[in-house]
Structure 1
Amino acid sequence: MIPNPSDEIVSVGNIGSELTLVKQASAHMPINPETIPEDLIIAILEHLSAVDRRDLTQFALLSKQVYHVTIPLLYRELDSRVRTSKNGTEHRIVHPSQILLQKPEYFKYVRSVREQGMVGAFEPSLMPGCREALSRCTNLRSFTWNDNGHDTSNDADLLAYLDILQKLPITELIIRTSSGISDEVWDKLCEFRNLRKVAIWSLHGNPRVLQGWSEKLGDTLTDLELGRCAGVPATILVSVLSQLPNLQSLRLKGAPSNSIPEILSTLPKLVALDTEYFGSGLSINRYSDEPIAALKELTVRTSSVDAQGPQHLWSWIRRLIPYPSLESLTLNTFSTQGDFQMPRMFILDLAKTHQNTLKQFTIDTVLLTLEDLQCLCTKFPLLEALSCSIAWCRDTDHIKEIIAHARNLRRMKLHVNWVRGPGVGSTYFSAVEAKDWMLMLGENSKLRVIVMGQVLYTGQWVYHEKEDGTGEADFEVLRDVAHDSWI
């Protein structure tokens, strides 16, 4: 939760680079913060909010004008913070309700609230204020409940929130619980209408796959996540989801693999699917209908514990995407039978259908040969982002020659098993090599992000002004630690 910026200045010492640049510039030029154009403020805010909310708080203190433009963004999404003592025995909750009740004019800015079960568990005295604050967020659109792994067998707090939410215009409802969802809570959830997104994640208790609720959400629901489908018969899952014809995004965990093609045949508007593949789903689907959904994004999560699993996996994936529509394919997998490899024929078959649509290919846990990499770079001319692992490579020049064929490539992440020994070329990769790769196509080059192992290289053109007032552009590459969210 971001508190009142005037209260945050003492506790936060991190000033963002953008704010630093503004202050440096003001030291050389007569810049009055009060006269900064609002459209420029909004542009800076969009970048700061994506980088660090603490920087956003600091930026709000630059001037009154900036403050008034920034406040709506600071209070758009709210959650609580937990401060734990060094010995871990004491917990202090910092909840946004305390500030909102003091600044009631901020209520109208709130669009998303994330509540945690630990608030009532650690500081029950805060609950009346939490409920009062939530009831006054009249523009609320999204609500998330997370029990944080604590025993919430007493559903009083969640039920009280749900009673309040029924009177607010929410369109997104997300429930994450480890203890399961009781019948009383589920009955209350099933009273909600006009939701666009529902996410139900539960580690224990009965699986909740929208039985008794889906028919009430069919006209509005476009985004659905079901985090526990294991043990639910395929016929029930298909029946429930078939009542949601407007779904555009679907994530399923534990759903039977042989039910997925039939599910896709009932969801004509679905464009994004995140699901799992199980070796137990090797049998041919008893349904004859092919998917009618034209997927743009497909994420498959799987592990293989038998020799036949991977072979059936590839044909199963192809069955889910029979039309030229796929823009992003992500495969997360591991194998107990050794390195998990992708058949060349799968890449070729994929290219026959999606050659002119595929833009992102993420297959970190599957080994590719250099020939496979070349196939990807030549068969998919629109490829913009590639993340994969290379089985064997002698030097960096081999990879450079291959990726030169991917003329639209913007971001690339590689894990390489280097061949080392006498007569082998250099396998050392640095910012110098990264710059060479990024500029190898000259003015037509689009590659700007390279992750090699755990190192991130980012390239950009920088304008340097000389003392005589002239200037020139130079291409610089920054080196940093890679993060999973790079692509």
Structure 2
Amino acid sequence: MALAADFLPLDVLPLILENLHRRDLHTCAQLSKAFHHAATPLLYRTLDVRVTTDKRFRKSVVVHPSTTILRKPEYAKYVRHVHENGAVGYHRPDLMDGCRKALRLCVNLQGFTWSYDSADGTDEADFLGYLEILKVLPLRELVIRTFCGLSDDAWDRLQDFTGLTKVSIWCMEGKPRILQGWSEKLGASLTHLELGVSSLSRAHPLYLLSHLPNLRVLRLKGAPSAAILEILTFLPRLATLDTEYFGAVALSRYDDVPVANLRDLTVRTSSVHIQGFQQLWPWIRRLTPRESLESFTLNAFSTQGEALIPRSFLLDMAQTHRNTLKHFTADTTQLTLADIECLCTVFPKLETLSCSTIWSPDMVLYENAVRKANNLREWRMNLNNWLPSHARVDQSQNTAIGSAIRRMMEREGSVLRVIGMGSVVYRGVWAYKTAEDKVEFEITSNVIQDNWD
């Protein structure tokens, strides 16, 4: 391996190693000086605390990276992100002084994440202590995930942080904090915002978000559906939206056309009504009135049975996004094989498709569904009525499925290389056969979830 490092440019080596898992990086760091020099900054780029339970002694075990940083402070310059957990102060208060000292050494820190699931707010003092240290570091991203809400004192101190590009706040309880008094200070820099706070539906976020014209990514949990339509009318740079749909948007007083051209849209919703999602489809169309959408994800659950995506919705979306849509994900809603064929036809740029459909032993139907999808690379299906729990695929059916998978992948013009059918994922690759001295197309299959156990 040392010889490989001699011939490989050192500036290229980190680009290769960053694709490895952490365990493999540890191995690389011990191979040679060159690999150690390239792997060490990647190993210490993100520091996570681990809180586990020792079942033998029935106690919590805390493993904190601060001990390593204090022992080797020269590694602190590589740290870009720190994930802290309030459970450290609860289980190991003796570590807190070292945690704060280690954080002060991370002079190149860009992101900080604080998480704690306690409902009593006992972690407040620890969190405030970290905020005092973060004020003098070049922080750009701040993520807060707690069960209880933020106190007035904590909120006042957060407003001292300016120049942030990402803010993410998720709280189960407490006041519906929506950047009150803070949005004006973040307007020039903030591009990524996530808000999932209690009672958000009772607090109108429009005025506060209007101070953030540079937002590119927005994720909201609990915001009124009508408010989403209004938000998109004053966020011209917004490209990614992840939100919920609660219905009743037909009564919205706002009829302006959104100025945002969304590229990625994720909608989460559920229904307990027999009518299902009748208003959902025109609402989605209103969010994306112009050609722009590249990725669409729908997570829809219904207590009245399997939710269906209307064919008319697919055709309406194609009128606008025919030449842009590349990724379509609807794992919890059902599409017939005829609908899938329609989808692959009206969206010729489609590259990935993940959906729920009915299992059929006639594999020709699956082949016909994607015969016009010349850009489709990955197709995953949640199969309803997929083989009873007591049955297994017999050999003849296995052969038929394998033959159909091969025909779909080897069809002229096809780039399809991943097909998931229920719990089985088939992958096609070109492999070199040393013995025959030739390249052959191989298809392998793996069970990702055994439904029969």
Find out whether 1:122 has 2:116 as its counterpart. no
**1:141 corresponds to:** 110
Q: Tell me if structure 2 keeps the 8 A contact 1:351–1:379.
A: yes
**2:225 corresponds to:** 257
**1:472 corresponds to:** 438
Given residue 371 of structure 2, which amino acid in structure 1 is its aligned partner? A
Q: Report sequence identity in percent.
A: 51
The CA deviation at 1:32 is: 3.1
Matched residues in 2 for 1:158 and 1:135: separation?
14
Given residue 376 of structure 2, which amino acid in structure 1 is its aligned partner? L
Q: Provide the aligned length of Structure 1 versus Structure 2.
A: 440
Find out whether 1:349 has 2:316 as its counterpart. yes
**2:14 corresponds to:** 42
Q: Tell me if structure 1 keeps the 8 A contact 2:171–2:198.
A: no
Question: 1:306-345 alignment to 2 at 5 Å?
Answer: 306-345=273-312
Match among 392, 395, 415 for residue 446 of structure 1: 415
Q: In structure 2, do the counterparts of structure 1 residues 43 and 173 end up closer, same or farther at CA, with 3 Å as the change threshold?
A: closer
Match among 345, 349, 374 for residue 378 of structure 1: 345
Given residue 295 of structure 2, which amino acid in structure 1 is its aligned partner? S
The CA deviation at 1:111 is: 0.4
Q: CA RMSD for the aligned pairs?
A: 2.2
**1:75 corresponds to:** 44
Output one character per residue of 1:231-275: Cα deviation in whole Å (capped at 9) or x when no partner.
Answer: 5446x3111111110000000001001111100001000000000
Match among 233, 236, 240 for residue 272 of structure 1: 240
Structure 1: gaps of 5 or more residues: 1-21, 23-30, 421-425
Given residue 379 of structure 1, which amino acid in structure 2 is its aligned partner? V
Match among 139, 148, 153 for residue 184 of structure 1: 153
- Shifted more, 286-295 versus 431-440: the winner is 431-440
Given residue 315 of structure 1, which amino acid in structure 2 is its aligned partner? P
Q: Tell me if structure 1 keeps the 8 A contact 2:116–2:123.
A: no
**1:287 corresponds to:** 254
**1:173 corresponds to:** 142
Q: Tell me if structure 2 keeps the 8 A contact 1:197–1:222.
A: yes
Matched residues in 2 for 1:230 and 1:393: separation?
45
The CA deviation at 1:345 is: 0.5
The CA deviation at 1:33 is: 4.9
Matched residues in 2 for 1:99 and 1:79: separation?
12
Output one character per residue of 1:311-360: Cα deviation in whole Å (capped at 9) or x when no partner.
Answer: 10001110000000000110001111122111110000000000000000
Matched residues in 2 for 1:134 and 1:293: separation?
39
Given residue 443 of structure 2, which amino acid in structure 1 is its aligned partner? V
Matched residues in 2 for 1:43 and 1:472: separation?
31
Q: In structure 2, do the counterparts of structure 1 residues 464 and 272 end up closer, same or farther at CA, with 3 Å as the change threshold?
A: same
Given residue 293 of structure 2, which amino acid in structure 1 is its aligned partner? L
Matched residues in 2 for 1:105 and 1:433: separation?
57
Match among 249, 255, 267 for residue 300 of structure 1: 267
Structure 2: gaps of 5 or more residues: 388-395
**1:230 corresponds to:** 199
**1:434 corresponds to:** 405
The CA deviation at 1:404 is: 1.6
Match among 201, 224, 243 for residue 211 of structure 2: 243
Q: Tell me if structure 1 keeps the 8 A contact 2:233–2:260.
A: yes
**1:398 corresponds to:** 365
Matched residues in 1 for 2:330 and 2:123: separation?
43
